[in-house]
Amino acid sequence: MTPKDQLLKDLKIGCGKPRPVKAPTGSQLHCKGWYQEAALRMLCNNLDPDNGENPDELIVYGGLGKAARNWDCFDAIIKTLLDLENNETLLVQSGKPVGVLTTHTAAPRVLIANANIVPHWANWGTFHELDKKGLIMYGQMTAGSWIYIGTQGILQGTYETFAALGQKHFKSDLTGKIVVTAGLGGMGGAQPLSVTMANGVAICIEIDPSRIARRLEKRYLDVEADDLDAAIAMARKAAADRKPLSIGLCANVGDILPAMIQKGFIPDVITDQTSAHDELNGYFPAGLSFKDALTLRKSDPDTYKDMALNAMADHVRAILEMKDKGAIAFDYGNNLRAQAMKKGVDNAMDYPGFVPAYIRDLFCKGEGPFRWAALSGDPKDIKVTDDALMQLFPKKTKMINWLKMAQEKIEHMGLPSRICWLGYGEREKAGKLFNDLVRTGKVKAPIVIGRDHLDCGSVASPFRETEAMKDGSDAVADWALLNCMTNVASGATWVSFHDGGGVGIGYALHAGQVTVADGTDEAEIRVTTVLRNDPGTGIIRHADAGYQTAIDVANEKGVKLPMINMHGERP
């Protein structure tokens, strides 16, 4: 039996039914090239039971964030990738493979578009109508673009946020400080470990007991409290002892925050990372048990959505009250504030989003989430890349500390992977380094390099990444499209463009890229070009908006800015 036939058998391709999926590993090809092989393995990795949140339904994370539209589509994508030539490009429309075109060897092997609806109709109502007809799929950010690497994927970004918060508000880290938040799903599950990495104490509220169990098992969460009083007592003791601790509390955040206020417990920091962008599938109304909420969600979705939105309004009111009583409040990009505004909370925006509050200065430098996965399946390959990066950037002490913590604290989910934030110029150096590691055999198989769509130049999202832009260009989506086209032109292995992300249909447009380092000269050109130009669009975007830091970086790094040149503002 050929490797291809064996893989078809192992993945039960053609059965059209839910089943456990694991990415093939090792150095043996099943496809006609490593670019197709990488796409196949990363698609499977998204649905690995150790990785995806609800793989039987093809859901990876974030409410409805899926990797493929249905199991027949998944099977067809796999079969197409196995036969795809090195001068062909597969087109995927909302999780459904719709065509193969003859392009050229330097073109992307896959182009993906997910949940993009003409703006006038871009809302959840239209989406759900199309979804019922089997015409569309919600791709979240990295679910439908096949570069999800488990909760680690958002972990460093969350850590960067809490670290920046500590410096801004406390002139230190989070030692002795208590953070209250909710949501322990694929994104929110990064919060407890991120807070403890910043030396803080976290109370994480989650209504689904299986999610708490999963975070405990993967060591993202330290302990579970029996009730609110126990959680508060544990948090206060850990803060007094100046010891990091993360505490899970199985409850509905809508019930817990008012109870905290009534008890006179106001945390140092209050935020939230439930999937509030999707009022039907991502949020649980207050006053209902987990089981009763799931029943109502199916039996009466309209009532459920109305109850969820009302609960979100009360949720935001509680956050605002905690803010008024001294807590540092920030929105973690799940559109909770905008949802609350639908139910009359006109001052919901009185607390800021995390990007303008803590991350934008990094974006101005081209900093963002650089992630990679070892297609060999061997964790030792990630150790090799970690060590090589620390040698390549010996002065990036923050990155080095992060990588050391990650080696110690993070358990791989699916294919071994890593993430760290790198800036403009650094990403292309890292890409060449990884390609050299493959070329010289220091790692056992090619390395996939990608990122979250949450990056410096790839998103238009007025309630998240582009909130409160200096020039008022929050809702201008041209930049995300330019980023997408730039990555196609630069030779990314696969490129995606989505609507929705973490804030919901109609609220964001965003692009993603994934590029494969297979040790060849061609791959070196691809990875260095993509990893230079991809964050380069972020420098241009923020320089155009008037951020001096971005203009200075462009001047220093040689990023050409025609309009600024014309006005003589730089040589």
Residue 88 known to bind ligand? no
Domain 152-351 bears CATH identifier 3.90.1150.10: no
94 is in an annotated binding site: no
Q: How far apart are CA 20 and CA 326, in angstroms?
A: 47
Q: What is the pLDDT of residue 568?
A: 47
Q: At 566, is the pLDDT very low, low, confident or very high (cuts 50, 70, 90)? A: low
Q: 502 labelled as ligand-binding?
A: yes
In whole angstroms, what is the distance from residue 560 CA to residue 571 CA? 10
Q: Alpha carbon 32 to chain centroid distance?
A: 30
Q: Is 188 annotated as a binding residue?
A: yes
186 labeled part of a ligand binding site: yes
Query: Binding site annotation covers 194?
Result: no
Is the confidence at residue 571, as pLDDT, over 80? no
Catalytically active residues are: 420
Residue spans per domain, the chain: 3-61+68-132, 152-351, 358-490+499-535
Mean pLDDT on 89-100: 98
CB atoms within 10 A of CB 315: 28
Q: What angle do CA 436, 36, 517 make, to 5 degrees?
A: 10
The reply, when asked if residue 332 is annotated as ligand binding, is: yes
Superfamily in which the 358-490+499-535 domain is placed by CATH: Urocanase superfamily (3.40.1770.10)
Asked if residues 415 and 374 have their Cβ atoms less than 8 Å apart, the reply is yes
Between residues 375 and 568, which one has the greater pLDDT?
A: 375
How far apart are alpha carbons 187 and 122 in whole angstroms? 24
Lowest mean pLDDT among 72-86, 146-160, 379-393: 146-160
Is residue 227 classed exposed, middle or buried when 0-12, 13-18 and 19+ CB atoms within 10 A define those classes? exposed
Q: What is the pLDDT of residues 143-202, one digit of tens each?
A: 999 999 998 888 888 998 999 999 999 999 999 999 999 999 988 899 999 999 999 999
To the question of whether residue 411 is assigned a binding role by annotation, the answer is no
For the segment 547-559, what is each residue's pLDDT rounded down to a tens digit?
999 999 999 999 9
